[in-house]
Amino acid sequence: MRAAVEELSPQAFCERWPESERDDIVLLDVRDADELDLAALPRALHIPMMEIPQRLSELDPERPVVVMCHTGVRSRHVAGFLVANRFKRVFNLAGGIDAWSIEVDTELPRY
């Protein structure tokens, strides 16, 4: 059975957590390192998708975690994995950094 994960659009993310209130959340970027060179968000924690199982201890299961990737597909899988591993407040950034560059920061390059 697959764990249900709440989807947040970039706009909904910004409304829920204005920049001044993001200290208590983890924005987890699960893209590969070469993708970060193309576009990245400040303050995001980068752990590539394939490293999540080995690096799970770096994440606090009590803090809200918003998982992001390029389009929202890989991050949805990681978010489900986190929920299955007893993380309490996990969200998927729908559309990923591509949607972020359209909805929130048009200066952020698209790839």
Residues annotated as part of the active site: 69
**Any alpha helices (H) in the chain, and if so which ranges?**
10-16, 33-36, 52-55, 73-84, 96-103
Element (H, E) at 29: strand 26-29
CA 66 to chain centre: 4
